[in-house]
Amino acid sequence: MADSVLRAAVNVDIDGLYLYDRIHGHTGSAGNAAGFDAAAHDPRAWTRGVPRFLDLFARAGVAGTFFVVAQDLDHADVRAVLRDAVAAGHEIGSHSLTHPYDLSRLSAEAQRTELFAARERLRDATGQAVSGFRAPGYVLSPMLLQTVADVGHAWDSSRFPCPAYQAAKAAAIGLYRATGKPSGSIPEAPGVWLGPRTPYRERLPDGRDIVELPIGVLPGVRWPVIGTSVIVAGELGRLAMQPVLDRTDWVNFELHAIDLLDHAGDELPARLLAQPDQRVPLRSKWKVLLRMLERLAATHSVRTLGQWAQTV
């Protein structure tokens, strides 16, 4: 029912494989942005993950949003996949220039450089203005959100009001620190954990505001509605969640490109098994995500984040 009052959006953060090494404290594989050769990175999140998402979205009949780390466009194969996504009618959002996990703690000038350069590069590559932004690791600060608006974005989709996720992330970061392999991630301020669950306008330091489209959680329990949680729960878990999901007024279903990589079939490095959903075979992941999207398209009005932002 395309005119459903229940709103939904589907989106994919295209985090290159090199970024997972930063989260999990590995070194030696593009440990930080300085000196990183984006043209030489392993492009399989793009060349295998994204085309599968294009197939999945076509099967489910939905248009989505892909959040792109702009430096990845140094890679010719990446540029080709980006063109395919745009040609298929999907929206492109900015996921910063180099995906620094500590972006919210960088200087105002460094933040502006990251966001401005990313938006320019994405506009040049797609021929379209890039209206939306998602912060690396979903972590914002008032100054960063101000910069998001200042470089010309109309909306942000980084708030993740999910106590279970945020607490687990804070615990994992502490664990990595304790074992002497500091994670590149930083925790989000606890005030965000119970922030608004549905789209709203967030006040900026300069007094203006910006549309915020929070990442999906179920009402009440605030269980995360993201690729990782659905894949790890599996088809039975999805069916258990489905009656609540069917009535949830805002579903911002957030996925990652590696959600449709196949650990065995794509011969991925063993260190990626630190991601819980990497142990699930591609066939199972594909099935649960397709059923979830088909159901979402039947119960909700599925539009891109940019389309929803215009209604807030």
Instruction: Note the Cα 224 to chain centre separation in Å.
Output: 13
Tell me the window of 4-12, 13-21, 50-58, 274-282 that interacts with Zn ion (CB under 5 A).
Answer: 13-21
62 vs 255 by CB, closer to Zn ion:
255
Tell me the window of 8-16, 41-49, 83-91, 239-247 that interacts with Zn ion (CB under 5 A).
Answer: 8-16
Tell me the window of 7-15, 124-132, 178-186, 202-210 that interacts with Zn ion (CB under 5 A).
Answer: 7-15
Given its phi and psi angles, is residue 157 left (phi above 0), alpha (psi -120 to 50 degrees) or beta?
Answer: beta
26 vs 238 by CB, closer to Zn ion:
26
Residues 227-266 that bind Zn ion (CB under 5 A): none
Number of residues that bind Zn ion (CB under 5 A): 2
For residues 192 and 226, is the Cβ–Cβ distance under 8 A?
A: no
Q: Which of 114, 225, 92, 241 is nearest to 160 (CA)?
A: 225
**Taking the complex as a whole, how short is the minimal distance between the CB of residue 97 and Zn ion, in angstroms?**
12
**Binding status of residue 15 toward Zn ion by CB under 5 A:** yes
Torsion of CA 193, 196, 197, 201, to 10 degrees: -130
Burial of 282 (0-12, 13-18, 19+ CB in 10 A): middle
Tell me the window of 12-20, 164-172, 217-225, 243-251 that interacts with Zn ion (CB under 5 A).
Answer: 12-20
11 vs 304 by CB, closer to Zn ion:
11
**Taking the complex as a whole, how short is the minimal distance between the CB of residue 19 and Zn ion, in angstroms?**
6
Beta strand pairing call for 209-212 and 200-203: antiparallel
**Taking the complex as a whole, how short is the minimal distance between the CB of residue 101 and Zn ion, in angstroms?**
8
**What DSSP element (H or E) covers 142?**
helix 142-150
Distance CA 301, CA 294 (A): 12
16 vs 199 by CB, closer to Zn ion:
16
Q: Give the three-state DSSP class for 68.
A: strand
Q: Which residues fall within 8 angstroms of residue 129, CB to CB, at 6 or more apart? A: 123, 152
Q: Which of 13, 21, 91, 188 binds Zn ion (CB under 5 A)?
A: 13
**Taking the complex as a whole, how short is the minimal distance between the CB of residue 100 and Zn ion, in angstroms?**
11
Tell me the window of 14-22, 209-217, 222-230, 288-296 that interacts with Zn ion (CB under 5 A).
Answer: 14-22
**Taking the complex as a whole, how short is the minimal distance between the CB of residue 230 and Zn ion, in angstroms?**
18
Distance CA 92, CA 79 (A): 13
**Taking the complex as a whole, how short is the minimal distance between the CB of residue 99 and Zn ion, in angstroms?**
6
β-bridge partners, 212: 156, 200
**Taking the complex as a whole, how short is the minimal distance between the CB of residue 95 and Zn ion, in angstroms?**
6
Tell me the window of 10-18, 21-29, 224-232, 291-299 that interacts with Zn ion (CB under 5 A).
Answer: 10-18
93 vs 238 by CB, closer to Zn ion:
93
67 vs 155 by CB, closer to Zn ion:
67
The CA–CA distances, whole Å, from 161 to 102, 205, 214, 221 equal 19, 21, 7, 11
Burial of 180 (0-12, 13-18, 19+ CB in 10 A): exposed
15 vs 202 by CB, closer to Zn ion:
15
**Taking the complex as a whole, how short is the minimal distance between the CB of residue 134 and Zn ion, in angstroms?**
7
Q: Which residues fall within 8 angstroms of residue 238, CB to CB, at 6 or more apart? A: 230, 288, 291, 292
**Contact positions toward Zn ion, by CB under 5 A?**
13, 15
